[in-house]
Amino acid sequence: GKILIDATVKLPEETGTIASPENLHKAIHFTHSQNDLKGLINVILDAKEPIDDDYFSLWLWGSNCDPIRDSSFVEGKLVMDSKTKEKGVNGFTREWPGKALSSRATIEAVDKKWASLGIGEFIPSPSLIFSKEIK
């Protein structure tokens, strides 16, 4: 399925509260813990995955999250479980697939034409993080 979320940060006059460092939140917060909810949308990733690279974290979120099964609200914040699922745990009934990686040929083709696409600053392929697994 697809999910569409308005993850924009609202201006203080849109929220009805006075802005202060204590009540300003990131729109999307990547974390390893259900107890670290600092964003309007909190995406929980496996502890072994880095959370300091937003592009990579967004890629993992899209790869590992089923919006129906993996979404909940905690204290008015959306929490999305984007951790790897395990067969037989919490009702998950199938083997978890491997990562969806681009081939080296695809990465090279996209890299070569990136500038001509007019889509902004170059973003390296998230697949490169797993270069040992790329065929």
90 lies in the same domain as 114:
no
80 lies in the same domain as 112:
no
28 lies in the same domain as 92:
yes
Residue 53's pLDDT is 87
Does 73 score more than 90 pLDDT? yes
16 lies in the same domain as 67:
yes
28 lies in the same domain as 79:
yes
Residue 133's pLDDT is 66
The CA distance from 118 to 116, in Å, is: 6
4 lies in the same domain as 48:
yes
Residue 77's pLDDT is 92
Each residue's pLDDT tens digit, 17-65: 554 555 455 789 999 999 999 999 999 999 999 899 888 899 889 888 8
CB burial readout 106-129, b (16+ within 10 A) else e: ebeeeeeeeeeeeeeeeeebbbeb
Rounded to two decimals, what is the model's pTM? 0.65
107 lies in the same domain as 91:
no
Write out the residue range of the structural domain in which residue 26 sits.
Answer: 1-96
80 lies in the same domain as 113:
no
35 lies in the same domain as 91:
yes
E strands, the chain, where? 26-31, 39-44, 71-74, 77-81
88 lies in the same domain as 73:
yes
In the chain, the number of structural domains is 2
